[in-house]
Amino acid sequence: MGRIDINREFNKIQTPVISFNNVSKKYNTGTDALSNVSFNIFKGEFVFIVGDSGSGKTTLIKLILKETLPSSGKVFVVGHETKRLRRKTVARFRRSIGVVFQDFRLLKDRDVFENVAFAQRVIEAEPHTLRHKVSKVLNLVGLSDKARALPKELSGGQQQKVAMARALVNNPIIMLADEPTGNLDPNSSREIMRLLDDINKRGTTVVVVTHNQEIVDEMQKRVIVLKDGKIVRDEAKGTYDAVRKEAKEEFE
Amino acid sequence: MKHLRTLGYCIKQGFSGLWKNRLFSLASIATVMACLTLIGTFYFVYLNVENALLKAESSVGMTVFFNEGVEEDRIKEIKSKLEKVEEISEVRYISADEAWEKYKKENMTEEMAASFGDDNPLKESASLEIHLKNGESGKNVADSIRDVSGVRTVNFSETVSERLSDIRALIIAVATVLIGMLAAVSFFLIRTTIATGINVRKEEISIMSIIGATDLFMELPFIVEGIFIGLLGGLIPLLILNYSYTIVENALKREFGNAFENFNLLPKSEVMGGFLPVALLFTVGIGFLASWITAMGKVRKIAVEHF
Ligand SMILES: Nc1ncnc2c1ncn2[C@@H]1O[C@H](COP(=O)(O)OP(=O)(O)OP(=O)(O)O)[C@@H](O)[C@H]1O
Ligand SMILES: [Mg+2]
C-alpha cells in the first residue's frame, strides 16, 4: 500500500496526463453540461467517473478527446491544450488515447483479428509489426483462439474484449471507457474491469465512466463524482456514493 | 513504402466500396458513359461536317468581272495585286475566249455552238477566278475587290463560309449547354453514389476517426471510387467511339468508294488523338471532384460524432 502512495506523491510533481482547469461546457441548446470543473489525472492512475444520468460524464470524455471544446476554461491532454490542437494534428493526438464504448462498435463484417488489425492499418504499421502486436493484445485479453471468429459469434463480454484489444494495440497513453460494462452481465463486467486494471498495471492511465456500484466499491480506486455538471467528490480510494462510504467507515 | 502500402489499402477499400454499392456505381458509370458518348459523337460529326464544308468551299472561290472596255493589261495588273493579298491563295485569269469555250461546252450542243462561228458573244467577259485560303474572309475580300476601279461585279457565293461561321457559333453554344448539363448530371449522380457509400460505412469511418485515422486515410477510398467511376465511364465510351468510327469510315468507303473525296472521314488518329486525353481528363476530373467534395464534407461530419 505504502508503495502506491509514494507513487501517487511522486506523480503529483509530474505534469498530469489529463488536466481540467475551471472547465465549463454549455451546449448550444443552452444546457450547462459541466460547470467549473477542475482536476488532474497523473500518469498511471486508474480513475472512475461516476454520477447520475445527465451529470456530464460523457461530456467530460468528449472534452478529453477533443470531440467538443470547452466553453470556458482549459483542457490539457498529454501536454496539449485541446483547443489549440490544429485539425491536422488531431489524428495523431487521438492515437495516444484508446477508447472503449458501451456498445463495443466492432466491424460486423470482419473477424476479430481484422477488427484489431484495423487500428494498426490506420496508423500505417508494418505488416509484421501488425501481426505481432495484434496477436500480443489478443493474447492479453485472452482471445487468441477467437482470432478468426466474427463478432456475432462472440458473447458480449468477448466482444468488449476485442474492442479493448483494438483500443490497446496502438499503445495508447490513456484508455477511456464510457460505461464499458453497461451491456454486460455481472460476471463479464468483473472480467472487463479486471482487464482494465491489468492494462493500468502495465502503465496505461485508465479513466472509466460507470454506473456499476459494486465494482467501483470493490476496486478501491480513485473516484470522481459528478452531479449536475459539478465535481461533488474526488477521493483516492473512493466509493460510488457518499452514504455507502460512511456506512463502510462505520463498519470498519 | 509505408504510404504505398496505405495507398494500396485505400484502393482496395475503394474497390470494395464500389462493389458493395454496385447499383449506384453502375448508374454513375452509365451516366458518365452516356455523357461522353454523346459528346464524342457530336464532336466527331461536327469535325467531319466542318471539314467537308471547308473542302467544298475552297473549290468555289469567287469570280471578278470587269466593265466594258477594260484592257487586258489592266486586268493583269489587278491580278498581280490580288495575288499579294494574304487571304487569297490563287488567282487565275480567264480570257474571253476561254470563258466562251467553257460556256459552249457546258451549256450548248455542238450544233448550237457551231452556229456562232467565230463570234464570241462574251468577248467583253474576261474574268479573274479567285481561290481563298479560308472561307471566312470571303465576304471582306469580295467587298474590297468591288471597290477597285474597273470591276463590274464580284460573284461570290457567301452561303458556305458565312453560314459556316454562324453554324459553328450555334453548334458551340448548343454543345456547351449540352456538355454542361450532362456534366452536372454526372457530377450529382457521383455525389449521390459516394454519399450512399459513406452512409453505408458510417460506423467504420467513426471507428477509424476515434482510432486516429487522418482525414486523407478516411477520404481516399471514396476518392478512389470516384476516380474509378470517371475512368470507366470515360474509357468504355472511348473504346466504343473508336470502334464505331472505323465502322462508319469503312461503310462510307464501301458506299461511295473514292469517287467523292468529300465523303472520306478525317483520319481516326487525328480525331481520336485530340479527343482522348481531353475526354479522360474530363470524366476523371468529374469523378475526382465530385467524390472529393462529398467525402470531405461527409467524412468530417462523421468524424466528430462518436457519442
Ligand atoms: N450534443 C449535445 N447537445 C446538447 N446537449 C447535450 C449534448 N450532449 C449532452 N447534452 C446534455 O448535457 C448534459 C450532460 O450530458 P452527458 O451525456 O455528458 O451526461 P452523462 O453523464 O454521460 O449521462 P448518462 O449517464 O446518461 O450517459 C445532459 O443534460 C445532456 O442532455
Ligand atoms: Mg454518458
Confidence of residue A9 (pLDDT cuts 50, 70, 90): low
The answer to whether the CB atoms of A67 and B212 lie below 8 A apart is no
Q: Is the CB of A25 under 6 A from ligand 1?
A: no
pLDDT tens sequence across B255-270? 776 655 556 788 888 8
Comparing CA positions, the residue from A80, A36, A81 lying closest to residue A56 is A36
pLDDT in tens, B202-224: 999 999 999 999 999 999 999 99
Buried-state track A13-22, b at ≥16 Cβ within 10 A, e below 16? eeebbbbbbe
Give the residue, A164 or B155, on which the prediction is more confident: A164
Ligand 1 mutation pick, A24, A28, A31, max ligand atoms within 8 A of CB:
A31
pLDDT at B177 over 60: yes
What whole-number distance in Å separates Cα of residue A109 and Cα of residue A132? 23
pLDDT at res. B292: 96
Smallest CA–CA separation between B294 and chain A, in Å?
19
Q: Note the pLDDT of residue B132.
A: 77
Among A95, A104, A124, pick the best mutation site for testing chain B contact (most B Cβ within 10 A).
A124
pLDDT (mean) for B122-144: 78
Is A57 close to ligand 1, i.e. is its CB under 6 Å away? yes
Of B170 and A93, the one with more pLDDT: A93
At B221, which helix (H) or strand (E)? helix B215-256
Whether residue B208 and residue A122 make contact (CB cut-off 8 A), yes or no, is yes
Minimal Cα–Cα distance from B293 to chain A, Å?
18
**CB of residue A35 inside a 6 A radius of ligand 1:** no
* CA–CA separation, A116 and A131 (whole Å): 10
Q: Residue B76's pLDDT band (boundaries 50, 70, 90)?
A: confident
pLDDT band for position A58 (cuts 50, 70, 90) = very high
Task: Tell me the chain B residues in contact with residue A178 when contact means C-beta distances shorter than 8 Å.
Answer: 307
* A36-A39-A44 Cα angle (round to 5): 155
Residues of B in contact with A118 (CB under 8 A): 207-208, 211
Of A34-38, A142-146, B254-258, minimum mean pLDDT range: B254-258
For residue A1, name the pLDDT band (cuts at 50, 70, 90): very low
Rounded mean pLDDT, B128-147: 78
Sheet holding A72-77, edge to edge: A32-41, A18-26, A72-77, A80-81
Residues A184-209: tens digit of each pLDDT: 999 999 999 999 999 999 999 999 99
Run of H or E including A99: strand A97-100
Q: Do B213 and A122 touch (CB under 8 A)?
A: yes
Inter-chain CB proximity A118 and B208 less than 8 Å? yes
Residue-level pLDDT at A27: 95
Atom of ligand 1 nearest to the CA of A27: 4
Chain B residues within 8 angstroms (CB to CB) of chain A: 2-3, 5-6, 9, 203-204, 206-215, 217, 304-307
Per-residue pLDDT, averaged over B168-177, amounts to 84
Name the amino acid, one letter, at B170: L
Mean pLDDT of A85-97: 92
Least confident range from A143-157, B72-86, B133-147: namely B133-147
Output the average pLDDT for chain A: 91
Is the confidence metric ipTM above 0.90 for this complex? no
Q: Counting runs of H as helices and runs of E as strands, what totals does chain A give?
A: 9, 10
A215-243 per-position pLDDT tens digit: 999 999 999 999 999 999 999 988 888 76
Helix axes B215-256, B202-211, angle to 10 degrees: 130
Atom 4 (ligand 1): residue with closest C-alpha? Answer: A27
- What B149-152 contacts at long range (C-beta under 8 Å, 24+ apart), as own/partner pairs, is B150/B66, B150/B67, B150/B70, B150/B74, B150/B75, B150/B78, B151/B64, B151/B65, B151/B66, B151/B67, B151/B78, B152/B65, B152/B66, B152/B67
B98 versus A43: the higher-pLDDT residue is A43
Confidence of residue B283 (pLDDT cuts 50, 70, 90): very high
Q: Is the CB of A89 under 6 A from ligand 1?
A: no
Instruction: Give me the half-sphere count of Cα atoms (radius 13 Å) on the Cβ side of residue A218.
Output: 9
**Hey, what's the cell of B123?**
468577248
The 10 Å Cβ neighbour count of residue B298 is: 20
Question: What confidence tens digit (pLDDT) does each residue in B41-73 have?
Answer: 888 888 888 777 776 665 557 888 888 888 888
Mean pLDDT, range B91-97, rounded to an integer: 86
Looking at every residue in chain B, the average pLDDT score rounds to 85
Q: Which of ligand 1's atoms lies nearest the C-alpha of A179?
A: 27
Residue A74, pLDDT > 90, answer yes
Higher pLDDT, B84 or A192: A192
Which range among A200-204, B24-28, B134-138 shows the weakest confidence by mean pLDDT? B134-138
Q: Whose CA is nearest to atom 18 of ligand 1?
A: A56
**Residue bearing the CA closest to ligand 1, atom 22:** A58
Q: Is the pLDDT of residue B198 over 60?
A: yes
Confidence of residue A2 (pLDDT cuts 50, 70, 90): very low
Residues contacting A80, CB < 8 A, separation 6+: A93
Chain A CB contacts of B2 under 8 Å are 124, 126
